[in-house]
Every structure is written in structure tokens, then in C-alpha cells.
Structure 1
Amino acid sequence: MTASFARSPLLIAPWISLRLAMVAFVLAVSAVLAGCAGLPSAVQRTPSQARTDVTDTRLATVAAASMPERDEALSGLRLLPAGEQAFEARIALARAAEKSIDAQYYQIADDASGLQFLRTLAEAAGRGVRVRLLVDDLHAIGQDTLLAGLAARSNVELRMFNPLPVRNGGVASRVVFSLHEFSRINRRMHNKLFVADNAFAVTGGRNIADEYFDRSGPDNFIDMDILAAGAAVQALSTVFDGYWNSEQAYPIQSLVDAALTPEAARRAFDQAAQLAGAAELPPASRDLLGQTSVGTQLATGRLQLHLAAVRVLADAPVKAPMADGAVMNGKLELLQSARSEVLVASPYFVPGRRTMEILKQATDSQVRVAVMTNSLATTDEPLVHAGYARYRTALLDMGVSLYELMPGAVPARAVAGEVHGSLGRLHAKLAVVDGRRFYIGSLNMDRRSAHLNTEMGLIVDSPELAGQLASLLRGERQPRSYQVRSAGGSKNLQWVAQGGDAPVVLAREPNSRWSTQMRLALLSSLIDEELL
């Protein structure tokens, strides 16, 4: 399952619900085929907490050495802009762990990256490391045997977040046949977190799948993670414990077919894990910021980190419906504090009334505001793009600069044509304010992230790291994005592509056909913006 379908299935049920005859049919079929399918009621969840007896571990020693002027209130941080190095960081930390690994992800794909990640966790457990893995259930299609096989190993516990009662079939069929527990469908854990020995953590926008780590041919995501040591790690571990011990987390053993024995599951896992052995690829020697890999620096006993104050934001496992969660509130408060400049990057940008008001206040106060998101040519969610497109004219009228990512490495003379095989899709969720403070995490600037998904992220006060992020965002903008502008004061728009001897100005949305526009207009009129 690729990320291209990461959100679309969640729109199926609401779309159907607007067509009454089909609703009746689907519910009838669901009742017949799903029968009394439901989740187990008497589930044993043994509570556990993050390990604190870790000061004698190698990773704790490296963390201390990496923060020689340590202030207990500060954290040591390093950006991970390159996909291959972000993956290597997780693997290197897992291999160095001695006592514990805690991880939670929206998606762990059954591909080379996902299998290598799971195999590395199994190897750590074999060394005596306690492994706790929490996975959102929606996209764990056909993975019950694989995940149960990992959980069958000593020192491993694996739980599924908010599982659907129907275990078989694809995402769409699982959603349809779980309509009798409708409230579960749109309540997804979108968090991304990896913690090793409670000494280092990696969080940000990346799931565990090939396309997040530059291993998926031409179609990869442009994303950003951050590695942390110090105070932020303890706060992130507390967040993990809250999710792990919540009633929404079900041990995988309580969900799998009773006929699947632990021995059979483990054999299946071992067979799949063997296939991941040939998938390892060494990262580039240095990333876009000139940094060597985390594994390379771990070998020296010290990581190059920036000291900064960090605020950890996290939604509760049970999120209040139809209200902005803690992460959205924190991010909007950050934007509202701007005095000179706001840079926002979000793959899905459907701002809504409150965000629009905050951006209008900023531009009225002479704050420069720039937003980068995907173009129709690069988005993996055209419906969400249609929701964003409704706001473009209003954003431009209030003085916001809009940039939409171009298909990668396209010559300027070719941008007017329809381009396939994009070399990059924006997936990073970032906001940089006044060149000093920034947000990084899992939250998109849309209603789904604000009201439905659980999210997490960091707000960091660091001019050095904020400068790095700002330079990367500006570097991606030209020539690899279209600047959207109003045409002659009307509602007509233009897309300007820099490159070559002169800018290329397009009067029609790139990669847009009339049939596509009509289909998106119809579907978007049937789907509530809250679900985009």
C-alpha cells in the first residue's frame, strides 16, 4: 500500500452517506457479510512505561557527550532532510539500543524499507532489547501474520491503534464493511515517533515506506524529520506511554485469527525478514546540509547537535471531535506570534476559517507570509488539492505568496505540458516564524489533521535550525515550484515557472484537464471539508 491511498479510503464512507440509496445497500451488505464482526471486549493490556534505567547505555553516553554544556531544560537537535539518512538514523539507533525501543507509526509498509525496519527491531529484541511497537490499523492490510510473527518473539510487544473490526480485504472493503462502527473509520493515529534507549528520538513527517526514504524509483516524497536528545526525548516518551496504555491500543494477538499459532506467525515473519537482507543501501556520505550520517557520528561517540528549547505538542489518544486539537492550536499560536515572516510547508493545505483569520492578521501587520504546497501535478490527493484551490484567490488577495511544487527536474520549456513521473511530492509539514522558531511534525494544515487524526510535533526555538529550514524551503521554491499569482485583478490565476532565459507563465493550472476538473468539482461538492 503506497501513500497515494493514505487518505482517500477515509473519504469513501462520507461520500456514500450522501447517497441514501447506496447507504442502505452498503449497510445491508455490511451487516450480512461482516455479520457480527466486532472488536474483542475483554482485552488484556499490561501497562508499561518508558525505561528510565538507561544512563549506563551507550546511547545515553553519546547523548551526554553530544551536549557537553547540558542544560536540563534544553534539547540537542539535528535536522534529517535526506530520506536515505533519515532511514539510516532509525536503523543505526535501533542497532545501538541496549534496553528499549519505542515506536509508533501511521504506516509501516510491506516493502523493502518496512521489512528491513521490522527485521532490525526483531534483531534488537534478540539482543534483549524491549521493543514496543504501536501501528495505526487502517493500512496494515494483510499484515496480521507478519506483525503477529514479530510479536511472537521474546521482548516484543505490538499493538494496533483503533483497529477496524474487519480484518480481511483491501482498505476500501475494510472501511465499507466496518461501517457499523463508523466512528472508528476516521479516527487515525497519524503520529510518527521512534525512541531508542530513551536517549534519542526521531520524529517528523515520515512513515516507514520506500517512498519516504528515496527508495521508490521516480516517485518519492520530499519530507523532513528531526533527531532529538535531552529534554524533548523524555516528553516524547511520555506521549508514547499515553498512547501505548490507552484503550485504543489493542495487542495484535487479540485481533488475529485464532487459528494462527505463534509458531506459524513467527516462521512467516522470519521468511519475510530474510527477504529484507538484500535491501540495505548505504546512505550518501553527506546530506543537503553537509551532515554525515547518524551511524557515522555514533561510531565516533558524539553527534553534532544544536542546543535549543523545545515544546512537545501531542493530541490525546481520544481526540475531542470537531475542535482543533492541541497540535493545531500550538501551531496556530506559533503563526500568530509572527512579527516579520512566516514560511509554511504543508502537502495538504485546506486552511479553514481560523487559519485564514490568523494569516489575514499577519499580512495586515506587514508580516510576509509564504505557503508552499503541492500542485495538481504533484499531489497524491487531488480531492484535497481541490479543497485548497477554493482558498487560492482569497489567500492571494490578502497578500500571501503561494508556491506549488513542480514535478521535479522539469526543464522550463516543458512545464506547460502534462508531466508524469514526478521526481518529488511534498510531504514535509513545517512552519518557520521570524527566522527563529519553527514547527516540525505530522500535522497537515487541514481539517482532518485538526479535528480527526491524532498528531504530534515540536516547536523549536533555534535561529540556526530555523535558518537551515528556511534555506531549504527557499531552495526548493525556485526553480522547482510554480508561483501562483492573480491575473489582472480577477479570479483568474497564473502559474509562473522560473527557469531558462525567462519565466514561463501559464494561464491554465498545470496538469489539469477539463474532465479532471469536472470530476473533482463533483466529488468535492459531496465531501465535507472536515474530511479533506
Structure 2
Amino acid sequence: MLSQMMGAVLISSLMVQAASAAESYVFKTKEPQQMAIINTGSLSLQKRLQMIESAKRTIEVEFFIYNIDEAGRLFTQALVKKAREGVQVRVLIDYGWPIAKLDTFYATLLEQNGVQVRYYNPNVSFELLKGQFRSHRKALIVDDNEGMTGGRNIADEYFDLSPEYNFIDRDVYVRGSVARAMRESFERFWSSELTKKPDLEKAPVASQYGVDVYGPQANSRYQSVKARFDAGMKKANDYLLQNDKDRQVLESLKGLAALEDGSVRMHTCNDTMFAADIPGIGSKSRVLFQEITAQLNDVRKSIYVESPYFVTTKNGMSFLKNYLQKGLDINVYTNSLNSTDAVYTTATFYPRVGELIQDGMKVFIYKGASLTGQDFISPEVQQARWGIHAKSAVLDEKTIMVGTFNVDPRSRNINAEMAVICRDNPQLAAEVLTNMKEHQAQSVQLNGAGKPVDGSSAFANVSVPKRIMYYLSAPLSNVFDFLL
């Protein structure tokens, strides 16, 4: 009851953000669209760099996370190169504390190099309610003709580059009029009242601090501000300058891409949709979930879903049980406590999922090892811990959805999301389903008690600190499940 009341307060508080929202946006076309599924991170990064390099007129970039690491360096350097060549480059980043890393120093230098930067819903710590509404969208669009979306943000762990933890993810590359639809959706967020231009950094001037008038004390303050400015601009400048490590990683990516290139197959989709939420919150803004529901209502046999998080509130349980009662074969692939990056989500998952399994749902949790048969940039990356991050569905083995939507209340009710849907394409669906089942092979199925059917522990390979975190987070996670 408490969680429902607080959820209602949150939604009511944020409804004002939807007051100026435009009509819901779902693009549908029967014109042939070219599509390819990209499963491995190294190939996904290489494809993005190729898309950027091919740009002649425009590049739009939109992400939830944009880290200052190796993946971020390579991606940003490629954008700056094209901006210097005269291509219009726009970067829209969700700027939610404490995730945001592309701060005003980086934004300043990017603007100086011709890259336009905007922050979506920048918030400070005291704006608790407003700060909950994030743009979880992820897109790269080139020349209104090519686009890519899926689960990946811009960070090492999304592109198989981290020696500690990496995501098993999925992107869909599109070519055709659907890319223009993605760009039009981008425009809605770029021009939203929630989107702000960063306050660009300016070099401090001694006279502004009264150095000549107030003496040593004023000079000390000026020197402190100047040191901060110089350090910030230096780190940003270093970020844009290609170094030996960047060149080495680029060469390694090209080598991996050459090995994996045969795994990427272009498909023609003759029934395509692009569904995207619009700025704001409330029913008028929840375009994607409405379209997902419409697609699920058409299912006659089977649903395969892959999501890093599987958080079910009371309403979510009822929603899923409705489809189970129809006799549908529903299979879910998600993370174990060992493989997850979000312990608090498993604190609601394990106690609740058994009820759905008893009603007929099949649930598989990923164990946490790297995928067999895949090539990696280094032994350290291969030996890292891995977790599911793909956000996809296969319906009746002929329709696919690939996008940014997680199976959780936040994607359903709070965050802005997007997805590409291809209907009635068994070949494309088979490719996605085959990849899901490769993940299943390194997972364990759960029984009606929410425990592994093979008798192993649900906490297998989980460190003691992570177990403690699980138990500590459980009470709050179950009260505030509507925020997960």
C-alpha cells in the first residue's frame, strides 16, 4: 500500500512535465527497411565508428550514459573529426546525477570543435521528484538514412572492453525511412523544455576577482578558480587527442570485426515500426509501453523476452499472468545475483518470480561467464564477469522488438524509451532467438520456488559483500519497487 501511494505521488508530481507534450509518436511503414542484429560489443562499436565516418550531412547522438573511458574517447574523437569536416553533429545526453560524466568542461571543448551538446533534464540533488524522470534512450542516426538503437550506452562495459565487468547486449542497425523517424523523435527531445544547453566554461579573469584591489586573499581565490579551469580543460583536451592506446584499441577492434563480420546478416523488413516515448510522463507520454502491449495482445503461441532486470509490482504480476492464462509459452532470460549490475533489482526478483513460474512461465538466469565461442580483445576481458543487458523480445517466432525498454516499472512508467519492431519476419526472428538460446545455454532455469532447478545456489559465485548488499537492499527495494 505504501509503495502504491508513493508511486501515485511521484506520477502526480511529474505530470506537469507532460503538459506540453505532443501527440504520441509511432512510425509504421510497409516500405522495405534494411536491418541487421549486432550482438557483440566490439562489432557494435566498430559499426558505430563506420557509421560516423560515412556521414555526409548530419549525425545525431542520444544516450543515457556517456562515460569518459576508452569507448567514450574513440566515439567522441570520431564525432569531432566529422564536425571539423563540416558535418552537423549533435549530442544529447541524459544528465542525471550522479551518472552524468560528460561535464561542462567536455561540453565546452566539444562546442569549440563544432559539436553541439545538450543535457536532458539536468537536475540537482534537491530536485528528487523531477530527477526521477530520465531519458533512457540510446540512438545514433546518420544522414536521416542509417540508425542504431538497442541496449548499449557509451562506456567500455558495453563494448567488451572492461577487464572487470561487461554486458551481453544487442543492437539493431537500420537503413531506410525508419532512420528518419528516429531523427524526428530525437528532435522532440532536443527541442524539449527539459533539454538545456550546458553553461560553458570560461577562463577566469583576474580583475573579476579584485586581485588589484583586494590583494593576496583575492589572488588566492582567483588562482584556485584558475587552477580548476585549467585542470578541467586539460582533461577535456586530452580526451579528444588520440594517443597510442586509442590507436591500439582501434586496430584490435578492426581485427575482431573482421572475424565477426560474417555473423552480421542484413535482412529486409516489410512491416516496420519505430515506437518512442515523448518528453514528459503520464499516459500521454508512455507511447512505447502502449505499443508493446498492442504487440503482445496479438501473440498466439510464444513470447521470448530478454531483459537485464525483471521487476514485477502487483500490477506487473497481473499484467503477465493475463498472458500466462491464455496458455502462451513465455520464456524470460535475465540476470542472476552474480551476473547483475543492480543488486537491488534481484532483491525483488527472487522472492516474486516463483509465483509466475508456478503459473507456467520459464525463467533462466545468466551465470556470469563470458560467452563461449566469442573472440575478445584480451584475456582479461574474457575472464571478467558478464551480465545480460539486452532488451529484446521475439513474438510467435516471427516478430522482434529491440530497444531500450527493460522489464521494470521505471521503463514502463517513468523513463523515456524507444524500440524498433519488425513484424512477420521469421528469418530475422530466428536470428535473435538463436542468440537468446546461446545465452540460455550458459544460464540456469529456476523452479517454482525461485531456485535453480539443478540444485545449485541462487547465490553461486556471489561475493560476501554483494550478498550483504542484497539483504540490506531487500526491504527498501520491495517498498520502492515502483522506482526500480
Same fold (TM over 0.5): yes
Task: Judge conservation of contact 2:132–2:414 (CA < 8 Å) in 1.
Answer: yes
Q: How far 1:290 sits from its partner (Å)?
A: 3.0
**1:144 — aligned with what?**
104
Q: Unmatched 5+ residue regions in structure 2? A: 1-5, 10-28, 205-224, 373-382
Per-residue CA distance 1:492-528 (angstroms, 9 max, x = gap): 44313xxxxxxx4225543466745532333324x41
Q: How far 1:329 sits from its partner (Å)?
A: 2.0
1:426 aligns with 2:388: yes
- Whole-angstrom CA distance in 2 between matches of 1:437 and 1:149: 43
Change (3 A) 1:507 1:423: closer
Per-residue CA distance 1:177-224 (angstroms, 9 max, x = gap): x21x22322111110000111110011110001100001124110000
**2:439 — aligned with what?**
476
Q: Unmatched 5+ residue regions in structure 1? A: 1-13, 18-70, 166-177, 293-302, 412-420, 487-491, 497-503
Per-residue CA distance 1:451-492 (angstroms, 9 max, x = gap): 1111111121121111101111112101x1010013xxxxx4
Change (3 A) 1:365 1:131: same
Change (3 A) 1:494 1:140: closer
**1:163 — aligned with what?**
122
1:201 aligns with 2:147: yes
**2:474 — aligned with what?**
521
1:315 aligns with 2:277: yes
- Whole-angstrom CA distance in 1 between matches of 2:294 and 2:146: 27
Change (3 A) 1:304 1:209: same
Q: 1:464 aligns with which of 415, 421, 427?
A: 427
- Whole-angstrom CA distance in 1 between matches of 2:112 and 2:371: 48
Task: Judge conservation of contact 2:42–2:257 (CA < 8 Å) in 1.
Answer: no
- Whole-angstrom CA distance in 2 between matches of 1:481 and 1:465: 23
Change (3 A) 1:149 1:268: farther
Change (3 A) 1:351 1:289: farther
Q: How far 1:409 sits from its partner (Å)?
A: 5.5
Change (3 A) 1:331 1:505: same
Q: 1:247 aligns with which of 193, 203, 209?
A: 193
1:485 alignment partner, SS class: coil
Per-residue CA distance 1:386-438 (angstroms, 9 max, x = gap): 12223212111110001000021599xxxxxxxxx753110000111000111
1:320 alignment partner, SS class: coil
Change (3 A) 1:517 1:224: closer
My pick for the range that moved more, 457-466 or 198-207, is 457-466
2:241 alignment partner, SS class: helix
- Whole-angstrom CA distance in 2 between matches of 1:371 and 1:311: 23
- Whole-angstrom CA distance in 1 between matches of 2:52 and 2:233: 20
1:373 aligns with 2:334: yes
The alignment yields a C-alpha RMSD, in angstroms, of: 3.0
Q: How far 1:267 sits from its partner (Å)?
A: 6.3
- Whole-angstrom CA distance in 2 between matches of 1:268 and 1:119: 14
1:290 aligns with 2:243: no
- Whole-angstrom CA distance in 1 between matches of 2:458 and 2:190: 48
Q: 1:510 aligns with which of 449, 456, 460?
A: 460
1:471 alignment partner, SS class: helix
Task: Judge conservation of contact 1:82–1:287 (CA < 8 Å) in 2.
Answer: no
Larger RCO, structure (CA 8 Å, separation 6 or more):
2
- Whole-angstrom CA distance in 2 between matches of 1:508 and 1:516: 15
Q: 1:446 aligns with which of 378, 395, 408?
A: 408
Q: How far 1:275 sits from its partner (Å)?
A: 4.5
Task: Judge conservation of contact 2:331–2:363 (CA < 8 Å) in 1.
Answer: yes
**1:80 — aligned with what?**
38
Change (3 A) 1:517 1:371: same
Q: How far 1:344 sits from its partner (Å)?
A: 0.6
Q: How far 1:324 sits from its partner (Å)?
A: 8.2
Change (3 A) 1:376 1:324: farther
- Whole-angstrom CA distance in 2 between matches of 1:199 and 1:305: 16
Change (3 A) 1:317 1:125: same
**2:113 — aligned with what?**
153
- Whole-angstrom CA distance in 2 between matches of 1:354 and 1:340: 23
Report the structure, 1 or 2, having the larger helix content. 2
Change (3 A) 1:410 1:251: closer
Task: Judge conservation of contact 2:346–2:470 (CA < 8 Å) in 1.
Answer: no
Change (3 A) 1:410 1:126: closer
1:76 alignment partner, SS class: strand
My pick for the range that moved more, 504-513 or 208-217, is 504-513
2:86 alignment partner, SS class: coil
Q: Could you tell me which amino acid in structure 2 is paired with residue 202 of structure 1?
A: M
Q: Could you tell me which amino acid in structure 2 is paired with residue 510 of structure 1?
A: A
- Identity across matched positions, percent: 25
- Whole-angstrom CA distance in 2 between matches of 1:160 and 1:141: 11
Q: How far 1:450 sits from its partner (Å)?
A: 1.2
- Whole-angstrom CA distance in 2 between matches of 1:185 and 1:239: 22
**1:127 — aligned with what?**
85
Task: Judge conservation of contact 1:205–1:224 (CA < 8 Å) in 2.
Answer: yes
**2:128 — aligned with what?**
182
Task: Judge conservation of contact 2:313–2:482 (CA < 8 Å) in 1.
Answer: no
- Whole-angstrom CA distance in 1 between matches of 2:317 and 2:326: 14
- Whole-angstrom CA distance in 2 between matches of 1:521 and 1:245: 39
Q: How far 1:157 sits from its partner (Å)?
A: 1.2
**2:24 — aligned with what?**
none
**2:482 — aligned with what?**
530
Task: Judge conservation of contact 1:150–1:266 (CA < 8 Å) in 2.
Answer: no
**2:16 — aligned with what?**
none
